[in-house]
Structure 1
């Protein structure tokens, strides 16, 4: 396995980890919505749950924006790196006295 392939696998694993983080955040927000459906909530409690949901959603969105940028940079770097075994065109000019 080439270093580039290994690097791409690490990037893919990091991307999957980010998706897992997003899934967990969505489950948390789902739980907040379910809690808000409770008919017996006071206005104050409902407002606190809304603010909590806004905070969780905003924090995860900001964090994932940064992580996406980082993953994109790593991916672009990995695919633009020369691959092992790629042939390169190199002109061979005989040096006087080398034969």
Structure 2
């Protein structure tokens, strides 16, 4: 897979700007969303190869975005990074792996 288009979705403007600048310096097209709903709409319409999603965004969490995208477009299989401090400890790590098919 040739990585060309990336979605960065986070309600923190500062985080989005930082990541966007770094990715654009490497020649990537970067799409941005500040809510989970925007992220879902962009993923379904633009089909980025990589999505970097905040675990806790307004309207839909990054986890919910992935659930909805998988349900709406089962043939679409982007690489997804969930950025969150929510899942701390082994119990939460296990839940994330089972429920959301998280891989390290």
Which is bigger in relative contact order (C-alpha 8 A, separation at least 6)? 1
The TM-score with structure 2 as length reference comes to 0.21
**Structure of larger gyration radius:** 1
